Amino acid sequence: MLGSKGEPILAEGIAARFQNICGAIIRDKLQTWIMTSNRKNVPTTTKDVLWVILKEKFTFLEGQEDSARKFAKGLHGRCFRNWRSIFNTDYVKKGKNDRDNFGRIPPEMWEEFKNTPEAKVLSEENTMKAMKAAENPHHFGAGGYAAKITKWRREEEERRIAGLPDLFEGLDERSRNWVLAQISVFTPEGKVTFKHPTITEIYKRLE
């Protein structure tokens, strides 16, 4: 069953499965398009193939296929942007070899992608969007971050004077504030972790 925008809403768990499969198709079929910053530049024939593969995984009610395809088109775009961003975070910054998981990317194309400033900017932009999407405006009430920033800076200064390590070394002030606003847990080793996996993933991008 689809919602008003063509998004799967029933049965339970279908929305997550739909998104996961869309992401998997993008990672598999658009490997040779990593130098393309906008999915709109991908040929229509290739986009048609993406839809055919996706449609094989689901059964749509009569009259719903067009709206489902329209929703999938937008989702494919988001998955494509996120994938290129994660490429920069998980492969470029960490020095991992893309050939281990994405063998269809030509070596010369991978080297070009690694040295493209646009790829790094894209990663930063998507991280900021993810941070905004994961914010909980009700966590601190009407005052939001503003009521807590002075307290956070004071506590950081107290840790510095005491000779304790900076838990968020390398993060700018905006990123620090965002991390501190989440419900975090400190491990016995002094590491920061979070109960929600989405928050943990965003934090890894910021490090």
Q: What is the pLDDT at residue 16?
A: 83
Q: What is the pLDDT at residue 6?
A: 73
Mean pLDDT of 28-44: 86
CA 114 to chain centre: 18
Give the tens place of pLDDT for each residue, 57-80: 888 888 888 888 988 988 898 888
Q: pLDDT category, 201, cuts 50, 70, 90?
A: low
In 3D space, the residue among 197, 39, 198, 37 whose CA is nearest the CA of residue 125 turns out to be 37
CA 108 to chain centre: 26
Q: What is the pLDDT at residue 113?
A: 79
Summary mean pLDDT of the chain: 76
Contacts of 192 (CB under 8 A, 6+ apart): 167, 168, 179, 184, 185, 186, 203
Structure tokens that stand for 21 in this block? 């499969």
Q: pLDDT category, 138, cuts 50, 70, 90?
A: very low
Alpha helices in 56-137 (DSSP H): 65-87, 107-114, 117-134
How many other β-carbons are positioned within 10 Å of the β-carbon of residue 186?
10
Q: What is the pLDDT at residue 156?
A: 86
pLDDT value at 50 more than 90: yes
pLDDT value at 100 more than 80: no
Mean pLDDT of 188-193: 65
Q: pLDDT category, 53, cuts 50, 70, 90?
A: very high
Asked whether the bond before 16 is cis by omega within 30 degrees of 0, the reply is no
Q: pLDDT category, 44, cuts 50, 70, 90?
A: very high
Q: What is the pLDDT at residue 25?
A: 92
